[in-house]
């Protein structure tokens, strides 16, 4: 057998098992090496720096492929039974009840991000967007939202040039990750 075509774990006629590179080992040695490899992997994975790096890479991948991941997640959820779906909804409700302070703090941080670095003139202009949204809702009998063209989570800012008034239905369809000018 040529070593370039042989994979780790392949066995020769004489009972020797292929390991990395071009090494052939006895079955006992092979199991010993395999065990050492598993121990090393467990030790390496328990290292906090490794876990942090892995978490960072997963987060970075998710941010770069967010649409694909959301679609995958939705498809996975749709395959669940109705019983499982209702169980998940109940768990979410329970979590929201138990974590009201965390949710409130998160909303407050968002409000603080929105208010920072705005002049008095900009604040007045933003207020006009919200009054226009209310006025349009009353006139057309359709709910309107003030939307961020570049979402806050994508680096957009809460400034007049990044705001637009649009129907709530369109805003909710758009989601928080798409840049969309209406």
Q: How far apart are CA 154 and CA 1, in angstroms?
A: 54
Q: How far apart are CA 10 and CA 105, in angstroms?
A: 57
Single pTM value for the model: 0.41
80-131 residue pLDDT tens: 999 999 999 999 999 999 988 888 888 877 777 666 677 888 888 988 999 9
């Amino acid at each position: 057998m040529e070593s370039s075509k042989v994979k780790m774990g392949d066995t020769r006629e004489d009972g020797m098992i292929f390991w990395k590179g071009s090494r052939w080992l006895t079955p006992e040695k092979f199991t010993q090496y395999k065990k050492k490899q598993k121990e090393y992997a467990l030790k390496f994975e328990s290292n906090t720096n490794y876990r942090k790096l892995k978490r960072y890479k997963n987060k970075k991948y998710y941010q770069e492929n967010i649409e694909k991941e959301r679609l995958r997640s939705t498809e996975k959820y749709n395959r669940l039974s109705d019983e499982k779906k209702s169980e998940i909804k109940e768990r979410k409700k329970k979590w929201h009840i138990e974590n009201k302070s965390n949710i409130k703090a998160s909303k407050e941080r968002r409000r603080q991000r929105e208010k920072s670095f705005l002049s008095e003139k900009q604040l007045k202009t933003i207020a006009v967007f919200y009054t226009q949204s209310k006025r349009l809702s009353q006139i057309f009998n359709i709910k309107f939202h003030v939307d961020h063209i570049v979402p806050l989570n994508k680096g957009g800012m809460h400034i007049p040039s990044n705001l637009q008034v649009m129907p709530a239905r369109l805003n909710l369809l758009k989601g928080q990750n798409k840049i969309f000018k209406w």
